[in-house]
Structure 1
Amino acid sequence: MKSVIGISLFSFFAIVASDDVYKLETKYIDVPIDHFSYTSDATFKLRYLINDTHHDKGGPIFFYTGNEGNINSFAQNTGFIFDIAEPFDALIVFAEHRFYGESMPFGNQSYVSPKNLGYLTSQQALADFVYVIDHLQNEYKSRWNGKKLPVIAFGGSYGGMLSAYIRMKYPASVLGAIASSAPIWQFNGLTPCEDFYRITTGVYASYSPKCANTIKNSWKAIRSFTQTPDNKKNLTSLWKLCNTPSTSDDIDKLVGWYSEILVNMAMVNYPYPTNFLTNLPAYPILQFCSTLDSYTWSDDYSLLKSIGDSLQIYTNYTKSAKCNDINETSSNVGESGWDFQACTEMVMPMCSVDSDMFENAAWDFNKYTNDCSKNFNVRPRSQNEPILEYGGKDISTASNIVFSNGLLDPWSSGGVLRRINDNIKIVVLPDGAHHYDLRGKNDEDTSSVKMVRSFHAKEIKRWLKKYYENYAQVHVI
């Protein structure tokens, strides 16, 4: 279904530049390139962003575990942390993930070889974050008589996975974690491979069954319509493509581009306009389906015209784009980095079946590994590495984690939706998209997201109360 290896948790991420709403100071820290070897002391500069405006006394560190992209983009779209920082006297920190943004272990050579990319792992990233936390403890604990400050990890999407993992693996460094839209069960044998696209289909069908059915018919139309050079040119015009697809690989890439747009609209189906992935109206799926349903189609040409015009909701909402370049769906480095991770440790089986609106595609691990070898000269050791590393569904000994998922989010397919124990809290937003609860407050917010954010704050307060009670000095919140 897709010409690149893995579906990034934000495959169209950070393509929109905008003025920063939240102010943060940029800092850098030298961290080991390899945390797990005693034979090398090589380091690189890891970027982190910090705001200590509200930090006081023994206030906690609110620590965002960075995702597969530029950390400032995540900071500007995680307003919840800023909204609650003042009442908690919190120090705000956003740490960048190695090999993304400005945090390149080998500078402009970071992506040139599998040897260099071999240091791009979640394990190394978690160790980076712990290194930063230790540095911050040494710098700020003097404000609380030299005692360790409590650390609350936050993260959404892959960053949410990391926030949960850092609490599980480094409980001495992190007191608790808010893990939003964290698909830690999107791995082999933990989740049916068809669930991701089934959920996406359900979101579209909930707005309009006709819309979902039209999308379902479009895949065959694309394949049959583009059999001739003239029709390839016609599709280029209908979909306002920058370049005419000429080969079967080009058509596969076009199908993947179209598929990802549909997924991304479900992920960012927020109740107000955003510029998170691109400039979008409120409830973009509603806008897309309303446009699509307004057309009457009778053949491949008219069907594909209706799809192309409707896609403008996502690809050109501001009417400023001259054409659609299917080769530039995201930051090249960001997508390459995630594709590499998907070829090593983050193998997330996905497939689509007759009952959903996407083109049929089976999960074929052998083909997947061959594609990885072709693209990166690496192969995943197994489909089970994340399960062995982080426990899969056997996380009953973990504590102080809130897993939140929006049911409008395709990635809820791999989210933790059932009770684990009394110390892991599960929160579901029936009308929530991808880590909606971590976004800043908005006048158009739903009642459910307000309740979830309140729940997060209460859990954090509960964790901190218990932490402070272990000391003679109790910090008042």
Structure 2
Amino acid sequence: MHYFYIIFLLNVGGIFGFGLFSFDHGYRHITKLHTYNVTILDSKEDQWIEQRLDHFDPNEKRTWKMRYIEDLDYWKPNGPIYIFVGGEYSISDAIPIGYTHELQKETNGALFYSEHRYYGKSIPLDIHVTDNLKYLSSHQALADLAHLIKTIKSSSTFETSKVVVIGGSYAGNLVAWMKLKYPNLVDVAVASSAPVLAKVDFFEYLEKVSEDYQKLGPSGCLDKITEIFQRYEQLLKTADGIEKLKKEENICDDTDMTKLENKQLFFVDKIAIFQMNAQYGTPDDIVNHCHQIMDSSTPYLKRLFDDESKLFRQYRGCFDFDYNKFINEIKGGTMVSWFYQVCTEFGYFQTTTSVKQPFTNNVPVNFYYNVCTGLFGSEFDEKRVERGVENTNNFYEGLSPNVTMVVFVNGDIDPWSRLGIVNDLSSDAPAIVIPKAFHCEDLLHDASTDTDELIAARKNIKKLVKKWIGFGA
């Protein structure tokens, strides 16, 4: 089942990974949306490592099994270890064929692809019991990676190997934070599209979406978008308007569109396609979308998944914007883990509170607070969210982490770059901003569409990694 989006993720989320709460943001979702070359580790079996349930409580003795994949096809003695870090998703046997694979091959490296606790097959405890999720945090995930690295390096085969961690979106955060918190274990980090600054009211996201459509779209596009959303807002104010909107948008007859939270879900759904085009589209995608909107004689906006979407359809052939059903769907689904992380650590709530966007102000921050309490209980309220975000920024040092040998990479049309590091921290912690590149695009490779700027950026990333691990020195 496809969930509609509330871009929360980074990633990749997203991160609640692109639309609604940025589930799926990051590498996994990109490979769904675009046809890229990947390395298929079809002969590699899942590997498992025992991890402590709580790395920070010596009295907690329970353990669980974490999944990872290893590729030693190019390995030679003294070669480096590359760890491609998984984020808020289930890892697969496909990894990027871009510079991760090229570095592995060119430096005779070993590759490990790690899965994050509480995602995929790496499930310590039942994710549908809120109390079990207290062991889900970036702190615990970093400790898991530390244990994995120590275990790999304990073998005489790898004891002298340099360690390079690579990740995108939320996993990009993790690799930068590994260098910050475990500098004795990690030599180099490549953080792609990493929103390292946690933020509750992430209004800048839709500001950037608006900016992308303004700069890349044809004249008049933003005005048309404004017109469409203002019309939605007016129709939802009256009974006659609601009936008209229901017919136009195939909304189920029994959906109560007078309820505020149901109206908010409707706006979330309609904004999602714009978010996806800005986060994962090309400039041509934005131009084409603008033409579709401006050339259409009807006010209908194509959905992100359209007929594939089942969350709102409820298998009834119509769209049911029922907030309570939405909460229950998430509670029973696999993405409840990412919702927990954004509600307790990151925020990333993409609101419409800024006036510098065309989507009206119908998705306020309170909507997200209500989702958190609806999913996890009344104690997961505004204060809990704000405290979690403050703690995250204090612990990981926000946009000014004291790190070296970390390269921060962002695409300049990616809305998540507003929470990323886009200026050099130092000569040994540079920032690379790639013109007209989307979220995590540097991690992938498509010879048919790669721009000269993207090719040059990847070359620069590889050069830095090789320099920092002393390859060829």
The TM tier, using the shorter chain, reads: 0.7 to 0.9
1:173-220 deviation digits (Å, cap 9, x = unpaired): 1111110111112436xxx94322111111111213422222222223
1:195 equivalent in structure 2: 204
Aligned match for 2:149, one of 111, 133, 150: 133
1:57 equivalent in structure 2: 77
1:141-168 deviation digits (Å, cap 9, x = unpaired): 42x6xx3311111111111011100111
Counterpart CA distance in 1 for 2:434 and 2:425 is: 18
1:39 equivalent in structure 2: 59
Counterpart CA distance in 1 for 2:147 and 2:306 is: 40
**Structure 2, unaligned stretches of length 5 or more?**
310-314
1:314-369 deviation digits (Å, cap 9, x = unpaired): 54699xx987777599997453222211111112365432221222268657x755
Structure 1 counterpart SS, 2:409:
strand
- Give 2:390's aligned amino acid: N
TM-score by length of 1: 0.80
Structure 1 counterpart SS, 2:92:
helix
Deviation at 1:451, TM superposition (A): 0.6
State the identity as a percent: 25
1:426-477 deviation digits (Å, cap 9, x = unpaired): 1011211001101124221011110110011000110111xxxxxxxxx658
Query: Aligned-residue CA RMSD in angstroms?
Result: 3.4
Do the aligned residues in 1 keep the contact of 2:411 with 2:437 (CA within 8 Å)?
yes
Aligned match for 2:136, one of 114, 120, 135: 120
Matches within 5 A, 1:78-227: 79-106=98-125, 109-113=126-130, 115-139=131-155, 141-142=156-157, 147-187=159-199, 193-206=202-215, 207-227=217-237
Counterpart CA distance in 1 for 2:453 and 2:6 is: 36
1:268 equivalent in structure 2: 280
Do the aligned residues in 1 keep the contact of 2:37 with 2:446 (CA within 8 Å)?
no
Residue range with higher mean Cα deviation, 9-18 or 178-187: 9-18
1:452 equivalent in structure 2: 457
Counterpart CA distance in 2 for 1:285 and 1:315 is: 18
Matches within 5 A, 1:407-422: 407-422=412-427
Residue range with higher mean Cα deviation, 170-179 or 207-216: 207-216
Cα distance 1:210–1:453, how it changes in 2: closer, same or farther (>3 A)?
same
Counterpart CA distance in 2 for 1:210 and 1:316 is: 29
Structure 1 counterpart SS, 2:469:
helix
1:348 equivalent in structure 2: 348
Cα distance 1:316–1:21, how it changes in 2: closer, same or farther (>3 A)?
farther
Counterpart CA distance in 1 for 2:36 and 2:206 is: 34
Counterpart CA distance in 2 for 1:123 and 1:44 is: 17
Residue range with higher mean Cα deviation, 451-460 or 256-265: 256-265
1:252-272 deviation digits (Å, cap 9, x = unpaired): 21211222332122111147x
Matches within 5 A, 1:6-45: 6=8, 8-9=14-15, 10=17, 11=22, 13=24, 21-24=38-41, 25=44, 26-45=46-65
Counterpart CA distance in 2 for 1:96 and 1:136 is: 15
Deviation at 1:91, TM superposition (A): 1.3
Counterpart CA distance in 2 for 1:358 and 1:172 is: 47
Structure 2 counterpart SS, 1:71:
coil
Counterpart CA distance in 2 for 1:63 and 1:244 is: 50
**Structure 1, unaligned stretches of length 5 or more?**
272-282, 297-301, 466-474
Structure 2 counterpart SS, 1:260:
helix
Structure 1 counterpart SS, 2:189:
strand
Cα distance 1:28–1:234, how it changes in 2: closer, same or farther (>3 A)?
farther
Cα distance 1:78–1:244, how it changes in 2: closer, same or farther (>3 A)?
farther
Counterpart CA distance in 1 for 2:75 and 2:236 is: 59
1:434 equivalent in structure 2: 439
2:312 equivalent in structure 1: none
Cα distance 1:382–1:97, how it changes in 2: closer, same or farther (>3 A)?
closer
Structure 2 counterpart SS, 1:57:
coil
Structure 1 counterpart SS, 2:225:
helix
1:398 equivalent in structure 2: 403
Do the aligned residues in 2 keep the contact of 1:5 with 1:343 (CA within 8 Å)?
no
1:48 equivalent in structure 2: 68
Counterpart CA distance in 2 for 1:86 and 1:21 is: 14
- Give 1:96's aligned amino acid: E
Counterpart CA distance in 2 for 1:446 and 1:246 is: 48
Cα distance 1:331–1:434, how it changes in 2: closer, same or farther (>3 A)?
farther
Do the aligned residues in 1 keep the contact of 2:197 with 2:419 (CA within 8 Å)?
yes
Do the aligned residues in 2 keep the contact of 1:5 with 1:368 (CA within 8 Å)?
no
Residue range with higher mean Cα deviation, 53-62 or 347-356: 347-356
- Give 2:343's aligned amino acid: C
Do the aligned residues in 2 keep the contact of 1:6 with 1:338 (CA within 8 Å)?
no
- Give 1:163's aligned amino acid: V
TM-score by length of 2: 0.81
Do the aligned residues in 2 keep the contact of 1:68 with 1:334 (CA within 8 Å)?
no
Question: Is 1:339–2:332 an aligned residue pair?
Answer: no
Do the aligned residues in 2 keep the contact of 1:110 with 1:116 (CA within 8 Å)?
yes
Question: Is 1:285–2:294 an aligned residue pair?
Answer: no
Deviation at 1:119, TM superposition (A): 0.8
1:224-265 deviation digits (Å, cap 9, x = unpaired): 324567765654554456786423232221211222332122
Do the aligned residues in 1 keep the contact of 2:80 with 2:108 (CA within 8 Å)?
yes
Do the aligned residues in 1 keep the contact of 2:166 with 2:189 (CA within 8 Å)?
yes
Counterpart CA distance in 2 for 1:204 and 1:295 is: 17
1:12-39 deviation digits (Å, cap 9, x = unpaired): 5367599994222221211111111111
Residue range with higher mean Cα deviation, 47-56 or 424-433: 47-56
Question: Is 1:255–2:267 an aligned residue pair?
Answer: yes
Deviation at 1:54, TM superposition (A): 1.1
1:260-293 deviation digits (Å, cap 9, x = unpaired): 332122111147xxxxxxxxxxx43232112112
Counterpart CA distance in 1 for 2:229 and 2:411 is: 28
- Paired positions, count: 431
